[in-house]
Amino acid sequence: MRNYSKLTPEGVRDVLFDECRAHREAQRRLTAIFTRRGYREVITPGLEYYDVFSLPGAAIPQQEMYKSTDSGGRLLVFRPDSTLPIARMAAARLQGHRRPIRLYYSQSVYRTWPELSGRSHESSQMGVELLGAAGLRADLEVIGAAIEAIKAVAGDYRIELGHAGLFRHLVERLDLPPEAREEIRATIEAKNYGALGGLLDPLGNSPEAQALRRLPRLFGGEEVLSEAESWELDGGAAQALGYLRTLYTALQELGLGQRLMVDLGLVQRNDYYTGVVFSGYVQGRGGPVLTGGRYDNLCGRFGPEMPAAGFAMDMDAAASLLEPHMFQNGAAQVLVHGEPGFEPKAQQELLKRTAAGQVCEGSVWETIDEAMEYARAEGIPIVAIVGEETRTIDIMGGRE
């Protein structure tokens, strides 16, 4: 039988050194942004009851969840999503709080993905949830926070806007079973035009079928909204398009220019979204680093109705954007070596230097020669030798 003691499970990995520092720096930057905007931190359990994620209209596919049982045989899952537990927590713990409730979190989620998908089964996320507020002002608040977050880790970014209500109202008019709706949604999300045509051909040439056929191709600026409005849809689909134009116009006043795009094929796979949905992209990464939207019906699955919107940032992606800038600041500047009998004094010297802001290592070597050899190998420029007197040696310059 194979021994797995030196391996990590499939889909997860160890994180080392500068990548860890990049994670902490990204977390620090986003924490500062969220707290300055009035959001307060919460942490939900890593283990939740399966029931939290299996509610009608908000379910996560069972095959994507890591499952276990507690001592009573009740089914548990490792947290596959942060929004659903926060909705549960708000219903159970925050009903008496004044609204809106501004929350942010920093935690991992666990999802199983198909082999060779390239997606990690453990994903570190930070995000915000604005509970108890609806309308244009609330959506601008959440998307504004998302823009500020993505700007904190990337210089070149793009925000794409869509509306979950548009797709939902179109497929409702076609009276399709849930399985067919999901299949159509998945093909639109993947922009698989051939497969989408095969699914829609049997539905004829109704306005709704024709609109669904065009959705994955509608990506760009204001001209996208103009084309969709020319379809002369009515009811909820028309309302979704009208609101999307209002929001797009308001966001353009922030000076986003070409960074703001409309994507009517943006149909988030999480079924709980009801209104605007958005994604954030950065140069050099194929997938989104940030996703979010409005989910006005979700909190009502756990308790009283409460409108809500939020987003989550992929912190592994954020760290990868910052990591190239991490090395120089993290390298030790000084190696402090104590001569025999002066080891406590060397520790005092190290504490003095670190308190002054220097990055220092304490020497664990027995001799000065060993300490010097180590400093050269690690690229530490200065060795401080502590004895009766403290002297410093510039390794690079070869002088005291």
The CATH number of whichever domain residue 373 belongs to comes to 3.40.50.800
Residue 268 is predicted with a pLDDT of 67
Residue with tokens 């942490």, as numbered in its chain: 43
- Number of structural domains (the chain) is 2
Position with higher pLDDT, 132 vs 395 = 132
Position with higher pLDDT, 57 vs 211 = 211
Regarding whether 308 and 354 lie in a shared domain, the answer is no
Regarding whether 375 and 242 lie in a shared domain, the answer is no
Domain assignment present for residue 2? The answer is no
Average pLDDT of the residues in 142-167 = 95
| Cα-Cα end-to-end distance for the chain | 58
Residue 152 is predicted with a pLDDT of 97
Domain assignment present for residue 284? The answer is yes
Which of the listed residues 324, 342, 373 is the one where a domain comes to its end?
Answer: 324
- Domain extent, residue 22, equals 17-324
Global pTM reads: 0.90
Regarding whether 99 and 36 lie in a shared domain, the answer is yes
The mean pLDDT value of the chain amounts to 92
Domain assignment present for residue 209? The answer is yes
Which of the listed residues 264, 291, 324 is the one where a domain comes to its end?
Answer: 324
Average pLDDT of the residues in 27-40 = 98
Residue 285 is predicted with a pLDDT of 85
* Residue 376 pLDDT greater than 90, yes or no: yes
Regarding whether 364 and 242 lie in a shared domain, the answer is no
Is the separation of the CB atoms in 324 and 103 below 8 Å? no
Is the separation of the CB atoms in 163 and 277 below 8 Å? yes
Residue 200 is predicted with a pLDDT of 86
Confidence at 328, pLDDT banded by 50, 70, 90: low
Tens-digit pLDDT profile for residues 2-15: 899 999 998 999 99
Which of the listed residues 306, 324, 342 is the one where a domain comes to its end?
Answer: 324
Residue 67 is predicted with a pLDDT of 96
Burial class (CB in 10 A: 0-12, 13-18, 19+), 345: middle
CA distance 163 to 209: 17
Residue 121 is predicted with a pLDDT of 95
CA distance 208 to 187: 16
Domain assignment present for residue 104? The answer is yes
Tens-digit pLDDT profile for residues 160-210: 999 999 988 888 888 788 888 888 888 888 888 888 888 888 888 888 888
Regarding whether 253 and 182 lie in a shared domain, the answer is yes
State what percent of residues in the chain have pLDDT above 70. Answer: 96
Average pLDDT of the residues in 101-115 = 94
CA distance 43 to 35: 15
